[in-house]
Amino acid sequence: MSSPSILGGTSLFTGFTKLCKGLAVVLVAGHIVVQILPPAVNYLALIPARTIPFVWNLITAGYIEQSIYGAVASTLCLLIMGKLLEQVWGSKEFLKFIFIANFLISVCVFITAISLYYITRRENYLYMPISGFQGILAGFLVGIKQIIPDQELSLLRIKAKWFSSLMLLIAIAISFFTAESATYLPTLIFGTYMSWIYLRYFQRKPETKLRGDPSDEFAFSSFFPEFLRPIIDPIASIFHRMLCGRFETSTGDHGDTLGGAPLPGSDPIEASRRRERGARALEERLATAPSAEELNKDALENV
């Protein structure tokens, strides 16, 4: 199968799933609500000083786009990237990923804002309304890196495994020239990292009854250029022990273990095979799906 069948060509803009369309309606509706009723932002967006008692904004904030540009961009990216991931993960896992990632992102952003306030004593960190789907979209890029890392975007000739890293690099560069970087940069960073944590250690694979993706190709250092990996790996191991202590493993002749028992999903060969199967299945599904031109031709013939 050719790369353009996945990340280029007319198929990129067709075949959107019902779930993705439904989520797109949620994003559009959320934007309309805050435009018609601006005070709704105070209850739906994440405002750290008001999160207690309005704890529901840890969930609602991710689905509220305050600007028309954000609403349009998020809707298009959701439809395009979402259909790729949903076909590989399945609708249930796709929706589960969005819910878990969104909640974890909001919690991390909340903690970061409170910490910045205590460090700087600047009240704007407590009262800035933070919202948007960009954190989930950052997570989608991590998912695409996992399932089709070597596919290329036909227009830019960039492999999918670098999309997430380039997005963060551009966002960090822009943050030096914008005064409101605190409203989006932590969301993108945590969206990337928390999504990787979930996919790396927790995501279940019903077809294999394994969990996570421990392959070297999906290690945290794989987000960085090759020459930086000897530096990143020791740092990543520290955060690994802090955040994922229950997945501590000891390496021996029998592979990774957890308390003497094999760690579920710890076979790198099996993880690689699962990723290959996912990429192959995605290519086959997109290749066999009828194009818009074929559908129009069939419709004319039926008439």
Segment 24-66, tens digit of pLDDT? 999 999 999 999 999 999 999 999 999 988 999 999 999 999 9
Of 193 and 11, the one with more pLDDT: 193
Q: ω before 53 within 30° of 0 (cis)? A: yes
Of 184 and 12, the one with more pLDDT: 184
Which strand (E) or helix (H) includes residue 108? helix 91-120
Q: What share of the chain is helix, strand, coil (3-state, %, to 5)?
A: 70, 5, 25
- Which tens digits make up the pLDDT trace of 126-174? 999 999 999 999 999 999 999 988 887 766 778 888 999 999 999 999 9
| pTM, entire model | 0.79
Which strand (E) or helix (H) includes residue 250? strand 250-252
Exposed/middle/buried for residue 96 (C-beta within 10 Å: 0-12, 13-18, 19+): middle
Which three-class secondary structure state does DSSP give residue 152? strand
204's CB contacts (< 8 A; 6+ apart) are 93, 210, 211
Average pLDDT over every residue of 259-288: 52
- Which tens digits make up the pLDDT trace of 60-119? 999 999 999 999 999 999 999 999 999 999 999 999 999 999 999 999 999 999 999 999
DSSP-assigned beta bridge partners for residue 258: 261
Of 150 and 186, the one with more pLDDT: 186
Q: Structure tokens of 247?
A: 């997945």
> What share of the chain in percent tops pLDDT 90?
50
**What pLDDT shows up at residue 288?**
52
DSSP-assigned beta bridge partners for residue 256: 251
**What pLDDT shows up at residue 13?**
62
Q: What is the DSSP string of 32-86?
A: HHHHH-GGGHHHHSB-GGGTTT-TTHHHHGGG---SHHHHHHHHHHHHHHHHHHH
**What pLDDT shows up at residue 158?**
84
Q: Which residues of 7-31 are buried (b: 16+ CB within 10 A; e: fewer)?
A: bbeebbeebebebbeebbeebeebb
Which three-class secondary structure state does DSSP give residue 154? coil
Phi, psi (5° rounding) for residue 158?
Answer: -115, 130
Average pLDDT, the chain: 80
Which three-class secondary structure state does DSSP give residue 130? strand
Exposed/middle/buried for residue 208 (C-beta within 10 Å: 0-12, 13-18, 19+): middle
Q: Structure tokens of 58?
A: 């840890």
Question: Which of the residue ranges 13-17, 42-46, 237-241 has the most confident prediction, judged by mean pLDDT?
Answer: 42-46
d(CA 207, CA 127): 45
Locate tokens 């999504």: which residue?
195
Question: Which of the residue ranges 93-102, 217-226, 264-273 has the most confident prediction, judged by mean pLDDT?
Answer: 93-102
- Return the number of other C-beta atoms located less than 10 Å from residue 300's C-beta: 8
**What pLDDT shows up at residue 274?**
56
Average pLDDT over every residue of 258-262: 35
Of 142 and 179, the one with more pLDDT: 142
DSSP-assigned beta bridge partners for residue 211: 204
Does residue 268 surpass a pLDDT of 80? no
Locate tokens 């309005």: which residue?
54
261 confidence band (pLDDT: 50, 70, 90): very low
